[in-house]
Amino acid sequence: MNHERNSDVLYAAANTARELENSGIEILGLHSNGRRAVLILDRPPTMVGGHLKRRQPIGSCGQDRVMAAEYQGVQLEWTLRPPMLREVSHG
């Protein structure tokens, strides 16, 4: 990736991150997957539908599902966690 392309990718990611933060979404991280910038979000934006990227086991509690979507030239990713089961006392 040449320097000019790299700065364009970072500029697009910064603008998208600012827009998402203004809508109340927290940006947890940023990296490059080799093709585009990837923003890691605390939750999905309402205007984007994601697809399952991978599953991650989380002990006996089930699996986290990492979701991804393309948005304004960057990739967005967020994690969906299964609801935690609580033990119910029948006492």
27-44 pLDDT, tens digit per residue, is 999 988 778 899 999 998
- C-alpha 75/C-alpha 45 separation (Å) is 12
Q: Judging by beta carbons within 10 Å of its beta carbon (0-12, 13-18, 19+), is residue 13 exposed, middle or buried?
A: buried
The one-character DSSP state at 85 is P
Output the pLDDT for position 28: 96
Output the pLDDT for position 48: 84
The structure's pTM equals 0.76
Residue 6 binned pLDDT confidence (cut-offs 50, 70, 90): low
Number of neighbouring beta carbons within 10 Å of residue 25 = 19
